[in-house]
Amino acid sequence: MKALTPKRIDAICDELVRIYNHTQSLLQDQNLSEVHLKRMIADLRDRPVSRDTYAQTVMRLKRAAQATGQPSVQLEIDIINSWGDDGGYPHYPIMIRQSVPATDVLYFSNMIANRDNSIYTHRAAVEPGEWVVLNRSPTGVIEIDANDILFDESIYKEIPGWTKRGYEQFLKLHSPFQFRRAARIGERYGHPTSGWRLTAKGKIHELVDRIFR
């Protein structure tokens, strides 16, 4: 923190502005007014009882919205967030889609040069397929269409027993949902439910994942 002098902070801000302006120039050259991005979440665990995992709580957000007639769910996200294109973050089996205004894109991986591998251990300066997006919401809360939360229902099946009232209580507790990689204890929580079960296909995927992880 001591290295963050006012002069250094100004230099960092100036560089970010130059990066943003260059990004916008590239997107305008392609006549792009919006980009279609996604976040993939890896989770292959059989959870018949106990608590939902973080990823499975995202799945239940969709179920809760559908059961209560809400077209969207609320997510609380950071000021700057990483999303992926078709080549970025190829996790499985849960996906969140979002259409992002081009003016909200800070930079994307194809415009960032690789680093000198004689100096750095990792040559790639950013993740392949990564798009870094600005969140302009003053509260940090955004709306995601419930239909833009997708998961492979041939992999997971939900244990029945939830009621509309139960889903309403779930949304009161988890909306807006803190959608970020946990940095502090308590941010990654599950909801005490009967959970989700892997199907036979899901268990095969889980086994393969364990073998080749």
pLDDT band at 126 (very low <50, low <70, confident <90, very high): confident
SS3 track for 28-76? HHCCCCEEEEEEEEECCCCCCCCECCHHHHHHHHHHHHHHHCCCEEEEE
Q: Is residue 25 part of a domain?
A: no
- The total number of structural domains in the chain stands at 1
Q: Please report whether residue 91 resides in a domain.
A: yes
**Which pLDDT score is estimated for 183?**
40
pLDDT of residue 7: 92
2 occurs within a structural domain: no
Residue 14 placed within a domain: no
Question: Cα(23)–Cα(208) distance, rounded to whole angstroms?
Answer: 40
Whether 18 is covered by a domain: the verdict is: no
Range of the domain at 156: 32-212
pLDDT given at position 188: 47
- Inside any domain, residue 120: yes
Q: Tell me which residue of 117, 98, 199 sits closest to 155, measured CA to CA.
A: 199
pLDDT score at 116: 72
Give CA–CA dist 181/33, Å, rounded: 28
- In the chain, the amino acid numbered 21 is N
Check residue 120 and give its pLDDT. 60
pLDDT digits (tens, 9 = 90+) for 136-183: 999 999 999 999 999 888 888 887 788 899 999 989 988 898 887 544
51 belongs to a structural domain? yes
In-domain check, residue 125: yes
Helix (H) or strand (E) holding 101: strand 93-101
**pLDDT digit string, tens, across residues 12-56:** 999 999 999 999 999 999 999 999 999 888 777 776 544 557 777
Give residue-wise pLDDT tens across range 177-202: 888 754 443 444 555 555 778 888 88
The pLDDT of residue 109 is above 80: yes
